[in-house]
Amino acid sequence: MRHLCWRNKVYDWNDWAATDTTLHLPTVLGHEVAATVTEVGSLVKQFKPGDRITVDPLIHCGHCYLCRKGYTNMCLEREIYGKQRGAFAEYAVLPERVICKLPDKVSFEEGAMLENLGVAVHAVEIEPHDPGDTAVVIGCGPIGIMAAQTLMASGVNVVMTDVNQSRLDMAAEISGADVVNVRQENPVERVKAMTDGRGADFVVEAAATQSALDQAFDLVRQVGTIVTIGTFNSPVSFNPFFKMTRREVKLVSTMGRTWETWRRMVQLVESDRLNLKPYLSHILPLEEYQKGFELVKAGEVMKVLLKP
């Protein structure tokens, strides 16, 4: 099982493939995957043929300075599965250290979405928050909604914003969060009304635009935190003194997820605190990958699954 990711759409439809020096063409894309082990090497100890597994696409070395510190997502020698020898194929060879066994309760369809969930969980956990806090998630794509669900599972009050009403409707249905269409309502007024005028304790920026980042600074309270998980296609600008220093606002970036994140996110799904099934919009045979890309490009679906 392989899910199509927005990043795969990027490589298929714009010039990132030409400018990304880490992408060696031709290549097989695909990094959101769940599969069955068919064969193991002689040194493999934790897995056997027949095991149901998923994969962390950030292939870490396990021995560099940052890996030893626990930042496996920032490995100094990392490879990215899906830039080289990706999942859009019938078979793949991967090191044992990036394989995670799927619990019996977690389906292949859900397992292929754990990579996305890991991004959301890592972003939410990178800074502390408390039950009763107020958070805003900007951007109603799958990872944004998963971030909202993760926050709500911790007792945080969540508002989601977007400009796409169909995405907002899906976000409200999947997560149960309050939603605001920023073309129709001022989200700052809504959040300040919820917080006695303070603003949001925590803002997750998952839209990756200048306007979204500006909105994040307007929404966050003094001594609050903004976490960026969106993939920006172009530079953004702001004055750090006025936006951050004078208000002691933290701006935190995240990349992927650490290996420790996998354990916590699997627990969220296995314990039914977070439901991934509603994200699945379409299931297509692997041969119809082009149709899948077109569906993702149209922007009206959540997740498209390719099945061999």
Full-model pTM: 0.89
Same domain, 170 and 112: no
Cα–Cα–Cα angle for 202, 6, 139, rounded to 5 degrees: 30
Model pLDDT for residues 194-253, shown as the tens digit of each residue? 999 999 999 999 999 999 999 999 999 999 999 999 888 788 999 999 999 999 999 999
Closest by Cα among 35, 70, 39 to 55: 35
Output the domain CATH number for residue 262: 3.90.180.10
How many residues would you count in the chain?
A: 308
Please tell me the predicted confidence (pLDDT) of residue 64.
Answer: 97
Question: Are 143 and 232 within one domain?
Answer: yes
Looking at 212, 235, 253, the residue that finishes a domain is 253
Q: Are residues 55 and 23 in the same domain?
A: yes
The predicted-structure confidence for 10-61, as pLDDT tens digits, reads as follows 444 455 555 666 667 777 777 888 999 999 999 999 999 999 999 998 899 9
Half-sphere exposure of 19 (CA within 13 A, CB side): 6
The residue ranking higher by pLDDT, 137 or 267, is 137
For the chain, counts of helices (H) and of strands (E)? 12, 14
110 & 51 share domain: yes
> Which CATH number fits the domain that encloses residue 171?
3.40.50.720
Is residue 235 domain-shared with residue 139, that is, in the same domain? yes
Shared-domain flag, residues 102 and 174: no
Separation CA 238–CA 169 (nearest Å):
31
Instruction: Check whether residue 176 and residue 101 sit in a common domain.
Output: no
Residues 93 and 187 in one domain: no
Please report the pLDDT score of residue 6 as a whole number.
Answer: 39
Decide: helix, strand or coil at residue 287.
helix
- Domain of 110 in residue numbering reads as 2-118+257-307
**Number of independent structural domains in the chain:** 2
CB atoms within 10 A of CB 100: 21
Residues 96 and 172 in one domain: no
Whole-number Å distance between alpha carbons of 36 and 307: 13
**Same-domain pairing of 146 and 211:** yes
